[in-house]
Structure 1
Amino acid sequence: MNNHDESRSKRLNELNGKEWVKATKSWFVLNPKARNSKQVQHPGKFPEELVERFVRFFTNSGEWVLDPFAGVGSTAVACKTLGRNSVSIELVPKFARIAKEQITKHEGHGDHKVILDDAMKGAPLLRNHFDGDSPTFDYLITSPPYWNMLRKSRGNNVTTQKERREEGLKEYYSDLDVDIGNIESYNDYLQAVTKTIEGYYELMRDGSYLTIIAQNMRDTDGDLKAIAWDLARFLSKTYDLKQEQIWCQDNKRLGCWGFPTTYVSNTHHHYCIILRKPK
């Protein structure tokens, strides 16, 4: 599936100068709309509005976008809205099914594939799915599991996780052995995410961009696990590390952590790590 030729636009995107300038601010506030009854089944969904922001900047209409940690289809829905094509890979059958339902119900354009499989299989997985004729991707955007954060206790404060438990909703992704969110060793987790994203290197167009959305976390021992920074360090051995944008949320509940003896922040931001495949 050769989706590139000599006539391909040399522009990175279709924005005008004013839109370009506004989109390059290094931080932004985005408070997503409430999730619907299907989307809320996923404990860590990232918002379509966030994906749209980056897809609009890093692609043109009709180009191909890859998300190897698809969840319930945020990337695919955003791409359909903007008239891009997408391939989404999801490990958990329930989430893959919801993703397909969300795509079908959403208005827009483009070719959108949801593949139920283990994204760690890399390029061979897509070659097999497309009978040896996989698209070449113009952009990769994803939000991998933030290690095993969803399985960590948050003390006695009221949290979203506790509310999910009370409502009978899933608090973590799955119990599958191959689920990266279930890896105990932090270093093994970093290696697994890195291997997954590096696994699609040969299917990325030369010069194409990647955006990895991650959040640093305070572990139960009180130490910071710098997930975003460590993933940037690991992935920069293969891709060129360009910059970052910081997604801020100012509508989240504040918790009284550590009072009155210990500093513990309310973490209401995520790092959007921007990398590029060398030309």
Structure 2
Amino acid sequence: MAYKNRMNDLDNKTWLKFQKSWFIHNPPRRKKGVLRHPAKYPETLIQEFIEFFTKEGATVLDPMVGTGSTLVAALRSGRHSYGIELNSKYAQIAKEVVAEEKAALAETRQNTNLTAEVINGDAAKALNYSIPEIDYLITSPPYWDMLHARGSETQKKRRTESELDVVYSDDPNDVGNMPDYEEFLEKLVGIYAGLKPLMRERAYLTIIVKNVKKGGKIYPLAWDIGRELGKVYTLKDEKIWMQDNQRLAPYGMGNAWVSNTFHHYCLQFRKED
């Protein structure tokens, strides 16, 4: 029996594959310019989510767009997109990345009339910007202040030697600089809750995040976001993104249990009131 697919443009096989609650995705190598960002997530991953949760021509928002991955994925998917980025340096890189992607698509006459706008601003003030009604929102927040934490010295040294950024910014409005976990969580959830007026009714919101370890204990960031933001939107489900090509480190070997964490939670919320 034929049915009308009101959600996306996928065939049945692709739809079913996406419904798995876990998946392995190993990102391709990052381009030189976007390497400056300490925690870029892959366009190839975002594109799969955009193509499941929207139809071609829809409008996508990433309120913490970094160096523009979501906008590139939206362009490749035939969707309009807007991205907000607090750090002016990353916003400029995102604009350059978007311009490069548009030029590449124009050569093949694909998606040449799509909007892909980078806004250098604060996601907490999103309602002040000229953003139309949003069909889908996808983002990944800072994982608290983990880039400032003890135990990350090796990564900091490696990135410093390569002249790459080791923190997102020194902006006091950057939630990645907040040392108190509860204050960080409250502000982060407040930002996402404040985006609700921009979203059309029954639009989905995907947040890609993981729990964090600090000071010898785990802070369940993904679960806390699910609990607190679930008071504003309906928490519908989760998908677990796993990477199986990462190098293992001997954390706590011979002394204590410390896992190598190579999975993220992709939390699916929906605006239902």
Say whether 1:176 aligns with 2:171: yes
- The alpha-carbon deviation at position 192 of structure 1 amounts to 1.0
Which whole-Å CA distance do the structure 1 matches of 2:212 and 2:180 have between them?
15
2:79 to 84, 87, 93: 84
Alignment of 1:139-218 (within 5 A): 139-154=136-151, 159-218=154-213
Could you list the runs of 5+ residues in structure 1 that have no partner in the other structure?
1-8
Which whole-Å CA distance do the structure 1 matches of 2:45 and 2:247 have between them?
20
Paired AA for residue 143 in structure 2: Y
- The alpha-carbon deviation at position 150 of structure 1 amounts to 1.1
Question: Normalising to structure 2: TM-score of the pair?
Answer: 0.92
Which whole-Å CA distance do the structure 1 matches of 2:119 and 2:52 have between them?
25
- The alpha-carbon deviation at position 253 of structure 1 amounts to 1.4
Which whole-Å CA distance do the structure 2 matches of 1:141 and 1:164 have between them?
27
Which whole-Å CA distance do the structure 2 matches of 1:267 and 1:90 have between them?
27
Q: Residue in 1 aligned with 2:237?
A: 243
- The alpha-carbon deviation at position 153 of structure 1 amounts to 2.3
Which whole-Å CA distance do the structure 2 matches of 1:213 and 1:151 have between them?
20
Could you list the runs of 5+ residues in structure 2 that have no partner in the other structure?
106-110
Q: Residue in 1 aligned with 2:108?
A: none
Alignment of 1:1-279 (within 5 A): 11-106=6-101, 107-108=104-105, 109=111, 110-123=114-127, 125-126=128-129, 130=130, 134-154=131-151, 159-219=154-214, 221-278=215-272
Paired AA for residue 253 in structure 2: F
CA RMSD of aligned residues (A): 1.4
**Equivalent residue pairs, number:** 261
Question: Normalising to structure 1: TM-score of the pair?
Answer: 0.90
Cα separation, partners in 2 of 1:155 and 1:17, compared to 1, 3 Å:
closer
Runs of 4+ deviating beyond 6 Å: none
Paired AA for residue 227 in structure 2: R
SS in 2 for 1:122: helix
Paired AA for residue 140 in structure 1: L
- The alpha-carbon deviation at position 245 of structure 1 amounts to 0.3
Q: Output one character per residue of 1:148-194: Cα deviation in whole Å (capped at 9) or x when no partner.
A: 011112267xx544321221211110011111100011011111111
Which whole-Å CA distance do the structure 2 matches of 1:155 and 1:104 have between them?
34
Q: Percent identity at matched positions? A: 44
Paired AA for residue 29 in structure 2: A
Paired AA for residue 229 in structure 2: L
